[in-house]
């Protein structure tokens, strides 16, 4: 859709701008205009999210704004500075190299939303790169952020995806795209690390106060607001990772600059939902040491929290020993918060009404069997709802993918006994509850790849089809059964790189 001739953009005046983050100004961010995107084509527009934001989907000029060809009225776009630990190594300056916040608005429900263009050209933090994103990775982020939202997992959102024939050099020549992503805030752990490691400790309090005032207002006037805020961040992060683990999601690049201060899933790169379950699955083929493998994600989440807490030391006390003690207490909240969230979610997936002693072992035994058999993670948990307590019949739909049948049958016997122990014998009600937490549809890599290949040829219909499908991941959708199938063997282990 080419929108070179558009009406005056004053149509957005009905939206309430709320330039809270932009008010921080330098040294936290830099005003920078996006680079125009030639011949923009609207691949997809997220109308339900637009309605939630109060944006009129009928506005003719919107594509130009969402492609970076026209500014949001009365808002100067900005890019943020930050640093971070990348694959465990300290990198002293990173920043929004290809992302621009183009608006901060107050939603009709009173909440805040920042709109950010990813792929809108270089910024002062681009480190010599072109500031563009390619259609391939943009489709993956656009689809997955909305898929995660529908799964109930905290995440940034996607408002629009605009493509262009502009060539972009990566491993090969690809074409450009811009995603407009939405979140209450895009502040990252790495923004605090930037100022701490540079010795600019006076810059920490204004940034923390902004975050607290905008997103933790109940703490704004408390004398211990920084400690209580950090406790919340650590526990949010722990709960987020537990949610990832229990849907079989691998992030791929869990650097501290990719961790949200609000506990949102942020920066979708070489992510993946596991098909064949592997405890040590690594979805990023650039992660040569497997630092961000599936089984490592909980500990990496805690390690990242430790980096944030180190950066926040000057906020907590002028006495170094006292600050260190406060940080230690906050750090130790992560593990129990993670364990509580994880076992509760595993129990829900198994249809257990309460958590009891032995449930962790029951889950561990099942995951070990899935690992040894390379069973499909999503399909296995979905099919477990077919296990009945009023019969000892084999667990159809699950047993077929298990290699160690005797061990699995023994597990099912113990699982039935556990269900009966809490009088959870209404099989139909339990199955319905399990199907509300075990998705039938996730964004498998081969599904995303099919949408990418069609969009690269100019056919955007598969992107739209996946958006509809993934907006209802728990529902039976009879005409979409093929999307719930395990991938063909040749597509089962697609590798994804950081290049985008």
Structure-block tokens of residue 124? 């002062």
Q: In terms of Cα–Cα distance, which of 304, 313, 303, 305 is closest to 226?
A: 313
Q: Are 125 and 96 in contact (CB under 8 A)?
A: yes
Q: Which residues have C-beta within 8 Å of that of residue 238, sequence separation ≥ 6? A: 298, 301, 302, 305, 333, 334, 335, 337, 338, 341
CA distances from 401 to 326, 371, 380, 419, 481 (A): 49, 11, 8, 23, 18
Distance CA 256, CA 91 (A): 10
pLDDT score recorded for residue 498: 59
pLDDT score recorded for residue 10: 44
Q: Which residues have C-beta within 8 Å of that of residue 166, sequence separation ≥ 6? A: 37, 38, 39, 132, 175, 176
pLDDT score recorded for residue 42: 95
Q: Are 264 and 183 in contact (CB under 8 A)?
A: yes
- Count the Cβ atoms, other than its own, within 10 Å of residue 35: 21
Upper half-sphere CA count for residue 53 (Cβ side, 13 Å): 26
pLDDT score recorded for residue 500: 58
Domain boundaries, the chain: 9-186, 191-342
Distance CA 315, CA 307 (A): 14
pLDDT score recorded for residue 320: 95
Structure-block tokens of residue 7? 């009406």
Q: Are 43 and 161 in contact (CB under 8 A)?
A: yes
∠ CA 165-55-26, rounded to 5°: 75
Strands (E), 46-123: 78-80, 84-86, 89-91, 99-106, 112-118
Among 96, 257, 275, 460, the one annotated catalytic:
257
pLDDT score recorded for residue 424: 67
pLDDT score recorded for residue 495: 59
Along the 500 residues of the chain, how does pLDDT read in single tens digits?
A: 333 333 344 444 467 888 889 889 899 999 999 999 999 999 999 999 999 999 877 677 888 999 999 999 889 999 999 999 999 999 999 999 999 999 999 999 999 999 999 999 999 999 888 999 999 999 999 999 999 999 999 999 999 999 999 999 988 999 999 999 999 999 999 999 999 999 999 999 999 999 999 999 999 999 999 999 999 999 999 999 999 999 999 999 999 999 999 999 999 999 999 999 999 999 988 888 889 999 999 999 999 999 999 999 999 999 999 999 999 999 999 999 999 999 999 999 999 999 999 999 999 999 999 999 999 999 999 999 999 998 888 877 788 888 899 999 999 999 999 999 987 679 999 999 999 999 999 999 999 999 999 999 999 999 999 999 999 999 999 999 999 998 887 666 665 665 55
Task: Transcribe 318-363 into DSSP letters.
Answer: SSHHHHHHHHHHHHTTHHHHHHHHHHHHHHHHTT-SS--TTHHHHH
Distance CA 27, CA 102 (A): 18
User: Does the active-site annotation cover 479?
Assistant: no
Distance CA 333, CA 234 (A): 7
Q: How many helices (H) and strands (E) does the chain have?
A: 16, 13
pLDDT score recorded for residue 160: 96
Q: Are 213 and 220 in contact (CB under 8 A)?
A: yes
pLDDT score recorded for residue 18: 83
pLDDT score recorded for residue 16: 81
Q: Where are the alpha helices (DSSP H) in 22-71?
A: 47-53, 62-66
CA dihedral 67, 69, 73, 74 (to 10 degrees): 110
Q: Are 463 and 161 in contact (CB under 8 A)?
A: yes
């Amino acid at each position: 859709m080419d929108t070179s001739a558009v009406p005056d953009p004053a149509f957005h005046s009905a939206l309430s701008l709320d330039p809270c983050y932009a008010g921080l100004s330098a040294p936290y961010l830099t005003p920078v205009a996006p680079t125009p995107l030639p011949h923009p084509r609207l691949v997809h527009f997220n109308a339900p999210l637009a309605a939630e934001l109060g944006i009129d989907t009928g506005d003719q000029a919107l594509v130009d704004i969402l492609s970076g060809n026209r500014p949001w009225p009365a808002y100067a776009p900005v890019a943020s500075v930050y640093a971070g630990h990348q694959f465990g190594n300290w990198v002293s300056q990173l920043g929004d190299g290809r992302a621009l916040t183009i608006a901060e608005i107050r939603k009709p429900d009173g909440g805040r939303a920042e709109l950010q263009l990813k792929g809108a050209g270089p910024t002062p933090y681009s480190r010599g790169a072109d500031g563009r994103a390619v259609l391939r990775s943009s489709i993956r982020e656009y689809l997955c952020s909305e898929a995660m939202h529908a799964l109930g997992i905290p995440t940034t959102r996607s408002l629009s995806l605009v493509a262009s024939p502009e060539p972009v050099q990566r491993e090969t020549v690809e074409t450009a795209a811009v995603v407009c992503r939405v979140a209450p805030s895009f502040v990252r752990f790495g923004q605090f690390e930037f100022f701490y490691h540079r010795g600019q400790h006076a810059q920490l309090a204004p940034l923390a106060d902004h975050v607290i005032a905008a997103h933790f207002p109940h703490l704004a006037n408390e004398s211990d607001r920084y400690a209580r805020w950090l406790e919340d961040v650590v526990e949010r992060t722990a709960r987020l990772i537990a949610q990832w683990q229990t849907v079989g999601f691998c992030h791929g690049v869990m650097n501290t600059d990719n961790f949200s201060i609000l506990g949102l899933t942020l920066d979708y790169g070489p992510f993946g939902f596991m098909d064949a379950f592997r405890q040590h699955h690594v979805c990023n083929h650039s992660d040569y040491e497997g630092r961000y493998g599936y089984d490592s994600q909980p500990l990496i989440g805690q390690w990242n929290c430790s980096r944030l807490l180190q950066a926040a030391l000057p906020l907590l006390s002028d006495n170094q020993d006292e600050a260190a003690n406060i940080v230690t207490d906050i750090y130790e909240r992560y593990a129990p918060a993670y364990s509580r969230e994880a076992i509760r979610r595993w129990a829900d997936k198994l249809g257990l009404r309460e958590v009891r002693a032995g449930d962790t072992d029951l889950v561990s035994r099942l995951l070990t069997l899935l690992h040894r058999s390379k069973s499909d993670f999503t399909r296995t948990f979905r099919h477990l709802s077919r296990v009945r307590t009023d019969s000892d019949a084999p667990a159809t739909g699950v047993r077929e993918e298990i290699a160690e049948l005797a061990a699995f049958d023994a597990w099912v016997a113990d699982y039935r006994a556990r269900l009966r122990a809490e009088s959870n014998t209404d099989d139909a009600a339990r199955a319905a509850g399990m199907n509300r937490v075990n998705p039938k549809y996730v964004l498998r890599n081969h599904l995303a790849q099919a949408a990418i290949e069609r969009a690269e040829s100019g056919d955007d219909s598969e992107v739209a089809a996946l958006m509809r499908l993934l907006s209802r991941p728990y529902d039976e959708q009879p005409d979409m059964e093929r999307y719930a199938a395990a991938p063909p063997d040749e597509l089962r282990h697609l590798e994804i790189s950081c290049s985008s």
